Every structure is written in C-alpha cells, then in structure tokens.
Chain A
Amino acid sequence: MNERFTPSRPEELAEILRWAAAAAVPLAVTGGGSKAATGGPVTAAHELCLAGFSGIHSYEPAELVLTAGAGTPLAEVEALLAGHGQQLAFEPPDARCIGGEVRDPDAPRAGTLGGVVAANLSGPRRFAAGAARDHCIGLRAVSGRGEPFKSGGRVVKNVTGFDLPKLLSGSWGTLAALWEVTLRVVPAPECARSLLLGGLDVAAAVRAMTAALSSVHVVSGAAHLPAPVAARCAPFAAGAALTALRVEGPEPSVRHRLAGLQGLLGGDSLLLGEADSGALWRAIGDLAPLPVAGERELWRLSLPPAAAPAVLAGLSQSLAADWLLDQGGGLLWLSCPVDTPAETVRAALEACGGHATLWWASATRRAQVAVFQPQPPALAALSRRIKHSFDPLGILNPGRMSRDNMSRGNTSRDN
C-alpha cells in the first residue's frame, strides 16, 4: 500500500473519503490491526487507519452509556469501566488471541472499540447478554460516498429511524468508516463463580448445558472443552473433558444458584471461586487452550446450540479433534489442518442451519476460499444493494467480506 492516512478529526476523514470517492481509489480501513488476519484479504491502494480517533468523548456511569472514538483501545475502555464497577456485557474477546497470535497473559488486551463493533465480536456471555450489535446504540461515520452521517443516539431505548448501528456492526468496515461509537454499559456483577463438570462427552455436555440454561438459575457462561483441549487449560486440567457453567450476581444469589445447579445436574462437580472463574472464562473467550497457529486454521461456526453433537459427529475424526464449544453450544471453534476444504466444514451445518467463517488462516488461503458463509442468491443480491447504498464505488475494504470485489472502479461490484 502506498499511503497510510491517519485522520484524527471527522472533517479530515470526510475529506479523505470524498477524495477517494472522486478518484475511485479503494482504501483498506483499519484500526488497531488486531483482526488483520480475519476476513478476505483487502486489495486497496492505500490504508485508512482510524486509530487516531482515540479517546472517551463522554461517559456517564449513571446513564449506563459511554461514547468514545472508534480508535480507542478496548483495554482503556475496560479499565475505565472497571473503575466505576461497570463493564461491557458482551465480553469482547482479545481479537489478537483468537487471531492465532502467541499469547502473553500479561500483555494489554488488543483491539479498538470500533474494531469490536465492526467485527461484532462477543464472548462467552453472548447468549445471555447479547453481542456487540446489541450494545452499540449509536454511531458517527463517513460513508464510501464521503458523506458523514450519524445514527442511533445516546439512550438505550430508541426506535427513531432505521437501526444503522446494527447494520454497521459486523460489516467489517465495508459500509462506512466508523469514527465514534456509543455503547451501552452495565453494572459488573458483584460476584462470579463457576461449576465444573468433568469427563462428559459432547452429547452429555450439551444436555447438561441445555438443562442449566433452561433452569431458573440464570447461567451466564456455558462451555465445553474436549479432553485434549482441556489439558491445555491450566490450572483446570484434570486429564478429562471439561464442561463449565458460570453464575454471576450478588453473592447470596450466586451461592444459592450454584447449589441449585449441582442438584439439577448431579454427578461430581467442582466449584471455582472468583479469581479462577475469571481466568477460566477469559481463557475460553480468547481461545487460549485451542491450538491455532502453525499448521492450523481456525473456523468459527455459529449453530443452533443443541445441534453441536450432531455437527461434530458429521465432521471427520481429524477435524473433530481440536475444538471448543462456547455460548451454550451455539458457538463452535474448530482448529483444522491447513487447507481443510470449506465445503467439508460447511456441509456439517447443512442439516441444522447456521454458518461457518474461516476466522484465521494465511492470506493466500483466505484469498482462495469464501471466508464468510456464501448466502442464497436473493439475500446476496440484497446485501450487494445495501453495500451499494453506502459505498457505490466499492472503495471501502474491497474483498474483506466477499471475494468478487477485487477490481476497482466498477459500481456494480460485490461487497
């Protein structure tokens, strides 16, 4: 890439995009760079880096709302919130970890607020608290037309106009360059503990998670790690598969509910205190126990939670070895040998529905396969028209979400 633009004021951003639109010059939109290895490789003349939009614009703990520049480091936001006993309920994972980098548990967490929204990232609490898209209530951005716009607001309850914050969440920078986001925040739980069940096979584990999530005990984390993966999850490794359930809230309630879960699920179980529970869920969210780098590729499968055993049974043994099942069964991370055919992975979802994304692989490989699940023709056509409504010239992140967008200057391209 020839140039790297680093605007820090919205007028500068708009000017760059007006210029790029006028000259039909494609741009790679970036933030902290922690998710560079996810999505299709972008073919662009220049980089548009939004990290300069860094800083908290407004935070009112009593209103449960925070507005900040899209380039604000996630770590900074989380530290600020923690100081006020609050948090992001959707528990964004460290995208650098799930992108396959070597982990340093003491390093500050990677990622920017805008990147989290653009990727619609969420962690283990997703099934109970929603994803980034459920917490992004307002934004300011500049479209691929070079026109600034805002959508949403600074209050949680708002149905004024189309919900563009949702549409832009998970759009991977292909619709507009996001420079400010407003997020809903929530009080952090007083207490969080976990219950571990050992040695269950995946069918039994999903039955246990389903029973727990269907109970009155309000579970906010439910994951299953097969034995080889659990073995890498120090200090909880016991040579067996691990099924974990998290309970959060006021201490008397947590105690009562953990006892309720133990009664409901029976068998042997182990209770984890606050610190161990926090470490375990951080590790699960960041995929710490899953081998990713080296001769591996990472697939992310979103599926109906109860279908997980059938999906795993549908994969060959070599594929169904290293995986981690999170979000009550609704999210399956699959670490596969390099060059595992996309069709093989996606075929496993055919019966139950859902989608598979090649989350981490080499750029060469990501240029060869459909990284995101291909859509039926009518839906794909609709998505292309939406892309066109924001970015008619296809200058924003061409190639990131779909492959047939590598050339430039053609207004009828795909996103």
Chain B
Amino acid sequence: MQMPAPEPAILAQRAALLAELRTLLADDQVIADSAGLRAYDSDALTAYRQPPLLAVLPNDVAQLSRVLAICHRRNVKVVARGAGTSLSGGALPLADAVLIGLGRFNRILDIDYDNRCITAQSGVTNLALSEAVAERGFYYAPDPSSQIACTIGGNVAENSGGVHCLKYGMTTNNLLGLEMVLLDGTQVRLGGKHQDAEGYDLLGLLTGSEGLLGVITEVTARILPRPETARAALLGFADNEDAGRVVAAIIAAGIVPAGLEMMDRFIVAATEAFCQPGYPLEVEALLIVELDGPAAEVDHLLGRVVEIARAQGAVSVRVSESEAERLAFWSGRKAAFPAVGRLSPDYLCMDGTIPRKRLPEVLRRMAELSREFGLRVTNVFHAGDGNLHPLILYDANVPGELERAEAFGAAILRLCVAVGGVLTGEHGVGVEKRDLMGTMFDEQDLAQQQRVKCAFDPQGRLNPGKVFPQLHRCAELGRLHVHGGRLPFPDLPRF
C-alpha cells in the first residue's frame, strides 16, 4: 500500500509547529515523543502502521478549531481519530500529518425524550448513547460490533452499520444533526432536532465521508423506544444454497427481520470451541433470524420463519424461549472474530456487499479462489442485506503471506463488484480498498467525488491517501475542458 510521500516542507516545520501547538495546549495534550506516538500508529487495520508527525488531544471545539487553523496556515496535513476501531485504515496516521485524537470530546450534552434524540460530543462511544437513554426505555439503533469502544463521531465518518441495519438503517438513517470544524477552523452546524435539510443535504454527504471533509465534534442522533420483545431462531442447513433460499423466502414473505446472519461451517465450529453457544456442528450453514417489535408480531412472524425454514429443508431448528437463550444464539456470532483469531495467527476481514441471490455462486467462487491463493477463507455474512465478511486466514510471519492474503481479498472484492455488488458495505474504503475504487467507478465518477472534496479542502490536507486511488490537484479537477470553444447558437443540438 503506497501512501503519499511525506512532504519535506511539512517535516521541516515539525519543531516550529510543536512549539506553536504547545503555546495553545497543555503539555499532556501534545504528544511528540516516539513512544507516545507509537500508541497511535494504527487503527484496527493493524497490517499498516505509521506513527504520526505529532498527536494532539484538544479539550473542546474552540481548541480544535485553533489547532486546525494552525495546521491550515502551515499547510500541514491532518488525520482525525476517534477510538481507532476502523477496519479499513480510515484513521491510519501519516508521517507528515498531525493526528487529532477526539477522546476528550466525551460528554453527552443533551437528552431530549420528547423530541426522541440525544446530542453527544463525537468521542462518546456508540454503546454509551444507548446506555444514556436506557432508563426511559430508549436506545440508539445502529450497533456496529465494536460498539463498546467505537465513537459516534467515527460512526458518522464511516457510516457504520451493524447487525440490525436491515430493519433500522445505517448511521446515516439515524442522524438529525452534527457540528463539525472545517480544515480552516470554521465551525459549521448541520441540521438540529428537525428532519431534512434546508439546503443541500450536507449531513448525508458528511456521513460516510471517512474524515476527508471535516472533523466532526458533535452529533445529534435519533433514539427509538426499545422494542417490546426480541426473539431469534437458529436454523441449520446441510447446504449453503438451502440457507440462501430461506433468506430469499423470508424477504419474499414480506418479513423484515431485525437481524439475519449466516455463518459457515468453519465459523460455527470455531465459535463453538471458543464460547460454547450450543450451535449444531453438523451443518454447512447456520442462520440466526432475529425478529423484534411488539410481542404479538414477533411470535406471529417467528412461526412463519420456522415454517419457511422447514419447507426449505432446515436440518436443525431452534427458537429462543428466553432472553438468555436469544443472547446465547448471538454469543457465537459476536465472538466470531476472536474465535477465528484463536485458530489463525492473523486474518483479514473483508466487507463486500452483493445482491442476495448471487450468494451461492459467490461462495463457490470464493472456495475456488481459496484454493488458487492457498489460503483459507471463512464467512460470516449479514445475509439480510447481502453484506459479506469473508475472513482470510494467514500468518504475517510467513514471508509473502500478507501480500497473498491482500491479493485474495482484492479478488473477492472484485468478484463482489462483478456480480452487481460493491467494495464495502460498512467498513469504509480507507486505505484498504482505495486502490480498488477503479473497479466500481470510472475516472469521471471519481473526479466528481474529488471535486466535492475540493469544496471542503482545496489543498487536500485532510486525511490524504484515503478513499481515492489518485490524488489530483483541485485546480486540475476544476478546469473545464471546452471542446471547440463557445458554440454558436445555430449549433444547438436537438433531440
């Protein structure tokens, strides 16, 4: 992975920049020693490591704004970081960029039950939002697996999903407002406690912009009353295709489960060995179908799900009869990554989305690729929305295996695009999928996205090296290529 070469003009300013930042911030807010900087050298995509130029921990938006203005004036690059749980390298530092840690933006500012929303600083964890409103029976719906650690600001930057987005949407569908600071230090507020924008939908644009447009400091999110009940069915199949047909049949029956997860045989065995969720071991595919809502509805629909599963040849059917049993069903799924981590020295977690109906063929092709690359792959799958998480097992200590695993991963993502899907369903492009953007988008698609980036950051100083495979100068992108000059009126094309 090639990152932009560090700019000598930035590296040369390090001492002066450090001195200037120290006049603004307390000693413990500026990290410049190599041991301290190493703590920030990667996010959850640990294959890539790079200590930043400096790291700063602003206390509030005024300080952040001043830090950004300083970097802007000095033309220094900036990378923002929440909890560092990005799986795509979204918060990977650069040798010539100041890393801004938002850990001190950790206060919940307002809980407004009547308007069903919560406002928090961007460093508050996802789970803390739900916990803050639990006493009145509310919660914040998007629940990425890292919710205990990941921050709401990071969730907005990455448009995080989770196992419940089939029914409740991703982060972008659950926001009302935010506050951000632009690279020149300008504070901007978008939205509020009301729905929809008065102008362009910048809230929608910022969500999932991967830290390239602004630094998010505050978020207002919708909260929902916690469903009356949730129950799950655990359905085992002798064949992946049977499981795939059940997924399609559930959707065709008009049922929208809260969660619809699929695990392959390897994951089932790995998680059973890891935490004993009580999974049936003699199945090729295991589905967890969770329904939530009013009890009368959940009981009714769960009965139909079981009928559908039996009709399609389920070899194992269990329905949760208690909250403890439902949580046990999920315990294996939620431990899938650590369970695999115990069996393999390293793994790469991929994140493509495909049209649901292409699943059997994608799984078959993935098995062939596994043989071609000589690396094992195992699958957990948000089956309801077609979001695949193939885990490629490798050993970084074996020379060449990381590169082989990455090439395998790239082949899987190309396959996802080839069948009508996309490179990333919820983890973001970051550095991981940056060089594959060309498989989904052509030059003009990418040029228009980069022009939008230019509207926020004309010098390309905010999180450079992420998302876009090639960096173009904004002046070059903005140039209008007019062929043949100004056309006279009679040349008006008519159709």
Residue with the highest number of chain A CB atoms closer than 10 Å, among B207, B209, B354, B493: B493
Does B296 make an interface contact (CB < 8 A)? Answer: yes
Closest beta carbon of chain B to A66's beta carbon, Å:
13
Whether the Cβ atoms of B451 and A390 lie closer than 8 Å is yes
B480 an interface residue at 8 Å Cβ cutoff? Answer: yes
In the complex formed, the residue of B with least CB distance to A387 is B200
Query: Is the beta-carbon distance between B353 and A147 smaller than 8 angstroms?
Result: no
Q: Are the CB atoms of B197 and A170 closer together than 8 Å?
A: yes
Q: A157-B386, A158-B353, A385-B455 are in contact. Are A304 and B297 (CB under 8 A)?
A: no
Number of interface residues of B (CB under 8 A): 107
CB within 8 Å of A: which of B219-250? 225-228, 248
**Residues in B141-183 with C-beta less than 8 Å from chain A:** 158-159, 161, 165-166, 169-170, 172-173, 182
Could you say which residues of chain A place their CB within 8 Å of the CB of B227? 216, 218
Whose C-beta in chain A lies nearest to the C-beta of B387? A157
A126 to B194, CA, bound (A): 12
Does A154 touch B at the CB level, under 8 Å? Answer: yes
Q: Mark A344-382, 1 if CB is under 8 A from B, else 0.
A: 000000001111010000000000000011011011101
A389 touches B493 (CB 8 A): no
Closest-by-CB residue of B relative to A131 is B196
Q: B424 and A7: CB pair below 8 A?
A: no
Tell whether, in the assembled complex, residue B225 and residue A215 are in contact, meaning their CB atoms are under 8 Å apart. Answer: yes
* Interchain nearest-CB distance for B444 vs A (Å): 5
Given contacts A147-B447, A160-B440, contact A133 B204 (CB under 8 A): yes
Segment at the interface with B among A29-37, A56-64, A99-107, A334-342: A56-64
A214 touches B225 (CB 8 A): yes
Across the interface, which residues of A come within 8 angstroms of B1, CB to CB? none
Known interface pairs A148-B444, A166-B201. Does A216 touch B225 (Cβ–Cβ under 8 Å)?
yes
Q: With A22-B482, A252-B297, A378-B187 in contact, is A60–B158 under 8 Å at CB?
A: no
Query: B192 near A353 (CB under 8 angstroms)?
Result: yes
Size bracket, chain A contacts: 35 or more
A-B CB pair tally, cutoff 8 Å? 305
Q: Please indicate the chain A residues that have their CB under 8 angstroms from the CB of B489 in the complex.
A: 23
* Structural contact, B195 and A19, CB atoms closer than 8 A: no
10 more A-B residue pairs beyond the given contacts A155-B422, A186-B256, A383-B202, with a C-beta to C-beta distance below 8 A: A22-B486, A60-B357, A65-B355, A126-B195, A155-B420, A167-B205, A169-B201, A216-B137, A250-B300, A376-B188
Interface residues of A in 138-175 (CB under 8 A from B): 143, 145, 147-151, 153-164, 166-167, 169-171, 175
As a 0/1 sequence over residues 436 to 456 of chain B, the CB contacts with chain A under 8 angstroms (1 = contact) are 010011001111110111111
B-side contacts of A148, CB under 8 Å: 444
Asked if B467 lies at the interface with its beta carbon under 8 angstroms from chain A, I say yes
Give the most central of A9, A253, A415: most B CB within 10 Å.
Answer: A253
A-B contact pairs, 12 of them (CB 8 A): A60-B357, A130-B169, A134-B169, A153-B421, A155-B422, A159-B208, A159-B427, A169-B204, A218-B293, A306-B112, A306-B114, A386-B202
The one of B172, B357, B427 that contacts A166, using a Cβ cutoff of 8 Å: B172
What is the 8 Å Cβ interface bit string for chain B, positions 354-372, against chain A (1 contact, 0 not)? 1111000000000000000
Q: A163-B205, A166-B172, A379-B189 are in contact. Are A256 and B200 (CB under 8 A)?
A: no
User: Given A62-B248, A159-B427, is A305 in contact with B115 using a C-beta cutoff of 8 Å?
Assistant: yes
**Chain A CB within 8 A of B326 CB:** no
A331 at the interface (CB under 8 A from B): yes
Instruction: Please name all residues of chain A whose beta carbon is closer than 8 Å to the beta carbon of B421 when the two chains form the complex.
Output: 153, 155
Chain B CB within 8 A of A330 CB: yes
- Measured in the bound complex, the distance between the Cα atoms of B423 and A248 in whole Å is 35
Does A401 contact B199, Cβ atoms closer than 8 Å?
yes
B275 contacts the other chain (CB 8 A): no
| Interface-centre pick from B173, B448, B484 (highest chain A CB count, 10 A) | B448
Given known pairs A19-B493, A158-B353, A306-B115, the reply for A375 and B198 (CB within 8 Å) is yes
Q: Are A157 and B301 in contact (CB under 8 A)?
A: no
Give the nearest-CB partner of B187 in chain A.
A378
Q: Which of A10-18, A265-273, A287-295 contacts B (4 or more CB under 8 A)?
A: A10-18
Interface pair B437/A160, CB less than 8 Å apart: yes
Q: Which residue of the partner chain A has the closest CB to B446?
A: A161
Q: A262 contacts the other chain (Cβ, under 8 Å)?
A: no
In the complex, chain B residues whose CB is within 8 Å of the CB of A23? 486-487, 489
CB pair A131–B251 under 8 Å, yes or no, is: no
- With A19-B492, A161-B449 known to touch, is A155 a contact of B425 (CB < 8 Å)? yes
- Nearest neighbor of A24 in chain B, beta-carbon distance: B486
Q: Are A379 and B199 in contact (CB under 8 A)?
A: yes
B455 close to A389 (CB less than 8 A): yes
A17 to chain B minimum Cβ distance, whole angstroms, is: 10
Min CB–CB distance A37 → chain B (angstroms)? 19
Closest to B297 in A: A253
Q: With both chains docked as a complex, state the minimum distance between the C-beta of A282 and any C-beta of chain B, in angstroms.
A: 21
User: Is there an interface contact between A250 and B452, defined as CB atoms closer than 8 Å?
Assistant: no
Say whether, besides A134-B169, A158-B422, A160-B424, A392 and B480 are in contact (CB < 8 Å).
yes
Please tell me if the beta carbons of A157 and B382 are within 8 angstroms of each other in the complex: yes
Complex-state Cα separation, A352 to B192, whole angstroms:
9
**Contact assessment for A252 and B195 in the assembled complex, using a CB-CB cutoff below 8 Å:** no
Contact A304 B193 (CB under 8 A): yes
Quote the shortest CB–CB distance from A53 to chain B (angstroms).
12
Q: Is the CB of A62 within 8 A of B209?
A: no
How many Å from the CB of B382 to the closest CB on chain A? 7
B492 A253 Cβ-Cβ under 8 A? no
Q: Is B73 an interface residue (CB 8 A)?
A: no
- Whether B201 pairs with A383 at a CB distance below 8 angstroms is no
Query: B-facing mask of A65-78, CB < 8 A → 1, else 0?
Result: 10000000000000
A260 to B452, CA, bound (A): 48
The docked-state distance in angstroms from the alpha carbon of A60 to that of B301 is 23
Q: Is the CB of B428 within 8 A of A159?
A: yes
Question: In this assembly, does B399 line the interface, its C-beta being within 8 Å of a C-beta of chain A?
Answer: no
Of residues 227 to 281 in B, which have CB atoms within 8 Å of A's CB atoms? 227-228, 248, 251-256
